[in-house]
């Protein structure tokens, strides 16, 4: 497992890489532009070239882009959907440019409209974005299930993949906070195993591209996306150890996003805890 964190790109890609190295990351996640603005960002050619060179040397073994929060491919507002398509394509092209392992995308929301119609708009949008880009994977992130968000269940994620033509570039990013909030009880190793067997059956483990490691401030089935630092939430040490030691996640980037405090020492302590809990979970599985 490639344990890492979301890092700022302030100062450019090389600066982001340096932050990841300083934090002791095996993997990093970045935004390709401001997460709450439509305006796109383009990095300078020399910054991209240096970044790719640093990637080849290590120790950062995986880079994942998180698409902006404004994107909603399921929107029935023509302007929002148009901007969402442009932004998603830009993220995927940026992913190709910097050699990212995927772009994490919140699939979208029906808001107060019909879910089936929003699903249709999302699958059409995914297909269009993949058709007009080249190699970078699109990693659909499971949602906590608030409001009309799409992707709250394995069945919805599978329906999006199937609807978009089962393209091999479509992957999944599982967030343990979202899983618990949407009703998947993963707080023990046996329960985590049962949930992942269901994932295998409905979606398929070959689709796994990344995971997000966040504790949940709200209980099982709350449908509320509220991150809290490990292990202070509902997952606690047992649930986090079960998630982090999941064999299907081997070699995947496991990315800590946090709950607001991104001071370097705090991030380092969270990553050290993640590695410790992973080992504890592995010992339990082996014993």
Backbone phi, then psi, for 249, in 5-degree steps? Answer: -90, 0
Residue count of the chain: 287
**pLDDT, tens digit (0-9, with 9 covering 90-100), for 178-223:** 999 999 999 999 999 999 999 999 999 999 999 999 999 999 999 9
Distance in angstroms (rounded) separating the CA atoms of residues 255 and 286: 24
Backbone phi, then psi, for 242, in 5-degree steps? Answer: -65, -45
Provide DSSP, 125-167.
Answer: HHHHHHHTS-S--EEEEP----TTBS-SSHHHHHHHHHHTT--
Instruction: Categorize the per-residue pLDDT at 41 as very low, low, confident or very high, splitting at 50, 70 and 90.
Output: confident
| Per-residue pLDDT, 36 | 84
In the chain the domains, ranked by start, together with CATH numbers, are 2-286 (3.20.20.150)
| Structure letter (DSSP) for residue 172 | E
Distance in angstroms (rounded) separating the CA atoms of residues 48 and 41: 13
Q: 28-64 burial, b for 16+ CB within 10 Å, e for fewer?
A: bbbbbbeeeeeeeeebeeebbeebeebbeeeebebbb
Distance in angstroms (rounded) separating the CA atoms of residues 64 and 211: 11
Strand-strand pairing, 62-66 and 215-216: unpaired
| Per-residue pLDDT, 42 | 86
Averaged pLDDT for residues 271-277: 98
Distance in angstroms (rounded) separating the CA atoms of residues 236 and 223: 18
| Per-residue pLDDT, 147 | 81
Instruction: Categorize the per-residue pLDDT at 40 as very low, low, confident or very high, splitting at 50, 70 and 90.
Output: confident
- Confidence (pTM): 0.96
Instruction: Categorize the per-residue pLDDT at 284 as very low, low, confident or very high, splitting at 50, 70 and 90.
Output: very high
**pLDDT, tens digit (0-9, with 9 covering 90-100), for 45-104:** 999 999 999 999 889 999 999 999 999 999 999 999 999 999 999 999 999 999 999 999
**pLDDT, tens digit (0-9, with 9 covering 90-100), for 137-162:** 999 999 998 888 999 999 999 999 99
| Per-residue pLDDT, 35 | 85
| Per-residue pLDDT, 186 | 98
| Per-residue pLDDT, 146 | 86
**pLDDT, tens digit (0-9, with 9 covering 90-100), for 11-38:** 999 999 999 999 999 999 999 998 889 9
Say whether pLDDT at 255 is over 90.
Answer: yes
């Amino acid at each position: 497992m490639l344990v890492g964190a979301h890092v700022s790109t302030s100062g450019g890609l090389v600066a982001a890489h340096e932050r990841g190295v300083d934090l002791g990351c095996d993997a990093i996640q970045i935004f390709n532009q401001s997460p709450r603005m439509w305006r796109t960002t383009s990095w300078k050619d020399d910054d991209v070239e240096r970044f790719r060179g640093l990637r080849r040397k290590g120790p950062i073994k995986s880079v994942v882009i998180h698409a902006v929060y404004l994107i909603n491919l399921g929107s029935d507002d023509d302007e929002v959907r148009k901007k969402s398509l442009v932004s998603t394509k830009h993220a995927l092209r940026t992913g190709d440019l910097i050699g990212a392992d995927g772009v994490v995308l919140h699939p979208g929301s029906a808001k107060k409209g019909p879910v089936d119609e929003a699903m249709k708009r999302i699958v059409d949008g995914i297909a269009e974005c993949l058709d007009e880009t080249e190699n970078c994977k699109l990693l659909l992130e499971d949602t906590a299930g608030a409001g009309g968000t799409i992707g709250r269940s394995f069945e919805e994620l599978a329906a999006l993949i199937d609807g978009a033509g089962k393209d091999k570039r479509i992957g999944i990013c599982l967030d343990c906070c979202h899983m618990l909030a949407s009703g998947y009880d993963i707080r023990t190793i046996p329960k985590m195993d049962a949930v992942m067997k269901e994932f295998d059956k409905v979606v398929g483990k070959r689709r796994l591209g990344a995971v997000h490691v966040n504790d949940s401030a709200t209980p099982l089935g709350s449908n509320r996306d509220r991150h809290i630092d490990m292990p202070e939430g509902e997952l606690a040490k047992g649930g986090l150890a079960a998630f982090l030691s999941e064999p299907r996640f081997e070699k995947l980037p496991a990315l800590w996003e946090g709950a607001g405090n991104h001071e370097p020492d705090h991030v380092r302590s969270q990553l050290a805890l993640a590695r410790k809990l992973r080992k504890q979970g592995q010992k339990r599985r082996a014993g």
